Amino acid sequence: MVRLLIIFTALMFSSAYAEQKYNPYDGRWETTTPDAELQYNPYEGNWQYTAPDADIEYNPYEGKWEYPNSGSTPSKSRRTFDPSTVKPID
């Protein structure tokens, strides 16, 4: 019963919201946040929905330039944490 209450509480206070938007450049529907905007990636030659203030970033593990995932926080808003104390580094 306690587990059920914890799960229900977590679901009540989560701020997950999504929206389906059509990408006319590749003919697909994308699940994204309501404020996402369609942006062009000149390095990959494709369009995708991202946060309005998202900056394109180089992913050295995959060797390509990409915007952060449409549901993620833009890189300039990401916080860095000290792994030994799990406290934010400002």
Confidence (pLDDT) at 25: 93
- pLDDT for the residue numbered 45: 92
Q: Answer yes or no: is 28 within a domain.
A: no
Q: What are the 10-residue block averages of pLDDT along the chain, 90 residues in total?
A: 72 68 91 90 91 89 81 49 66
Q: Residue 4 domain-assigned?
A: no
Read off the amino acid at residue 30.
E
- Is residue 67 assigned to a domain? yes
Provide the pLDDT for residue 80: 63
The reply to whether 51 falls in a domain is: yes
Asked, for residue 11, whether it belongs to a domain, the answer is: no
C-alpha 40/C-alpha 67 separation (Å) is 9
Number of domains into which the chain is organized: 1
- Angle value at C-alpha 71, between 26 and 65, nearest 5 degrees: 60
Which domain, by its residues, includes 55?
36-77
- Asked, for residue 12, whether it belongs to a domain, the answer is no
